[in-house]
């Protein structure tokens, strides 16, 4: 058990470091090709920060653990809007930007509904994954176009501060970062998924439970730390848009690409319980956004209580 937990933690650290290196190298090369920082942020950086979830989902699907693949994405989305947003709001109230109400929330809710409708037959197949990819590309095209029109445009998926101002001086460094990142993501996901499966067997619980709790929380740690630090510094105004953007990417890009590589069978409990929780929590965010144009401390405590109840129902 102790060895499994240590390997799980090591796998998670290697995943996060690998994703960070991939983002650095790919961002620098993109800037070298004269792409704007905004486009880099909305595409390469956004996908790069979801790379741990992506590699875990691919590894899980290919190794015969579809509950980990689907549970990872659904659990991460619940964790983002309940735990991460809840903690962020408790530290400092989160201001709601108009774009979050007009664009981000409808797209987040629409993605969740689309997932529910497509997996009701018990599978996520190639053509459905293709449809997801068309949706994410259309979404990216729309927000890049809208952002370019606005002087106050902010990245909907990740803060632009994470993108270098200019490419590195030597391209071999960029290529080395990308190589190290890919290797780290490959081995990190292998260790993490393998340890998660062993942990499920050791605890006598299903892979669904581990995917929705341990794996989901682990892959949401970067967002959790970043959001809490930003909130502590009083810079939480982008937190809500970033979290919803992450949820959109998780469903449309991660599950989209994974199902194009391997058909994903969907557990009945994930369909009838966990995705419903994800829909309800996403719906619950809307009145909090509209009424006072902020997610306050009381709202944050409510979200934390909701997340605690959800985890209790999953585990017990």
- Per DSSP, the three-state class of 235 is coil
Strands 264-265 and 123-124: antiparallel
The answer to whether 112 touches 275, Cβ cutoff 8 Å, is yes
pLDDT given for residue 205 in this prediction:
76
Highest mean pLDDT out of 56-60, 113-117, 139-143, 210-214: 113-117
Report which of residues 147 and 225 the model is more confident about.
225
H or E element at residue 124 = strand 123-124
pLDDT band at 159 (very low <50, low <70, confident <90, very high): very low
**What is the residue-averaged pLDDT of the chain?**
81
Q: Tell me the C-alpha distance between 253 and 305, whole Å.
A: 30
Distance of CA 6 to the CA centre of its chain: 24
Q: Any residues with CB less than 8 A from the CB of 97 and at least 6 apart, and which?
A: 154, 237, 238, 240, 241
pLDDT at 38: 56
237 pLDDT more than 70: no
Which pLDDT score, from 0 to 100, does residue 305 have?
A: 96
CA trace torsion 50, 55, 61, 63 (10° rounding): -160
Mean pLDDT of 40-44: 61
Say which residue, 201 or 167, is predicted with more confidence.
201
Strands 94-95 and 294-295: antiparallel
Burial environment of residue 277 by CB neighbours within 10 A (0 to 12, 13 to 18, 19 or more): buried
Is there a contact between 196 and 68 (Cβ–Cβ < 8 Å)? yes
CA end-to-end span of the chain, whole Å? Answer: 21
With a cut of 60, say whether residue 162 has pLDDT above it.
no
- Span 89-94, average pLDDT: 88
Return d(Cα 192, Cα 15) in angstroms, integer. Answer: 8
Residue 35: which pLDDT band, with cuts at 50, 70 and 90?
low
pLDDT band at 44 (very low <50, low <70, confident <90, very high): low
pLDDT at 77 over 90: yes
For residue 304, what pLDDT band results from cuts at 50, 70 and 90? Answer: very high
pLDDT of 51 above 50: yes
CA distances (Å), origin 100, targets 69, 107, 154:
28, 10, 11
Q: Which CATH class is domain 2-315?
A: mainly alpha
Give dist(CA 103, CA 100) in Å, integer: 6
3-state secondary structure of 267: coil
Reply yes or no on whether the pLDDT at 265 is more than 50. Answer: yes
% of residues, the chain, pLDDT over 70:
84
Of the listed ranges 64-78, 144-158, 216-230, 278-292, the least confidently predicted one is 144-158
Q: Where are the domains of the chain?
A: 2-315
All residues at 6 or more sequence positions from 65 whose CB lies less than 8 Å from its CB, including other chains: 193, 197, 207
Coil, helix or strand at residue 265: strand
Which residues lie across from 95 on neighbouring strands? 294
- Predicted TM-score of the model (pTM): 0.81
Q: What burial letters (b/e) apply to 228-264, b meaning 16+ CB within 10 Å?
A: bebbeeeebbbbbbbbbbbbbbbbbbbbbbbbbebeb
């Amino acid at each position: 058990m102790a060895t499994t937990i240590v390997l799980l933690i090591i796998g998670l650290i290697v995943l996060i470091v690998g994703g960070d290196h991939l983002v650095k190298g790919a961002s620098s090369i993109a800037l070298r090709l004269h792409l704007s920082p905004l486009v880099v942020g909305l595409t390469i950086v956004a996908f790069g920060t979801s790379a741990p979830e992506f590699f875990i989902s691919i590894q899980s699907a290919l190794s015969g653990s579809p509950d980990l693949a689907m549970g990872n994405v659904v659990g991460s989305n619940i964790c983002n809007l309940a735990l991460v947003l809840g903690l962020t709001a408790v530290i400092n109230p989160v201001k709601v930007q108009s774009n979050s109400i007009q664009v981000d929330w409808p797209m987040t809710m629409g993605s969740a509904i689309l997932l529910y409708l497509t997996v009701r037959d018990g599978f996520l197949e190639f053509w459905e994954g293709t449809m997801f990819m068309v949706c994410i590309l259309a979404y990216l095209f729309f927000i890049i176009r809208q952002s370019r029109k606005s002087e106050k445009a902010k990245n909907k998926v990740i803060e632009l501060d994470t993108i270098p101002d200019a490419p590195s001086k030597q391209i071999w460094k960029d290529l080395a970062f990308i190589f190290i990142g890919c290797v780290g993501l490959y081995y990190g996901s292998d260790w993490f998924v393998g340890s998660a499966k062993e942990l499920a067997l050791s605890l006598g619980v299903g892979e669904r439970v581990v995917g929705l709790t341990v794996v989901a929380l682990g892959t949401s740690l970067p967002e959790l730390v970043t959001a809490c630090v930003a909130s502590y510094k009083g810079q939480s105004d982008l937190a809500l848009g970033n979290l919803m953007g992450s949820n959109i990417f998780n469903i449309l890009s991660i599950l989209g690409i994974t199902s194009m590589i391997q058909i994903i069978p969907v557990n009945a409990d994930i369909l009838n319980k966990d995705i419903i929780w994800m829909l309800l929590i996403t719906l619950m965010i809307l009145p909090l956004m509209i009424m006072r144009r902020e997610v306050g401390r009381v709202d944050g405590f409510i979200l934390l209580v909701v997340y605690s109840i959800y985890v209790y129902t999953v585990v017990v």
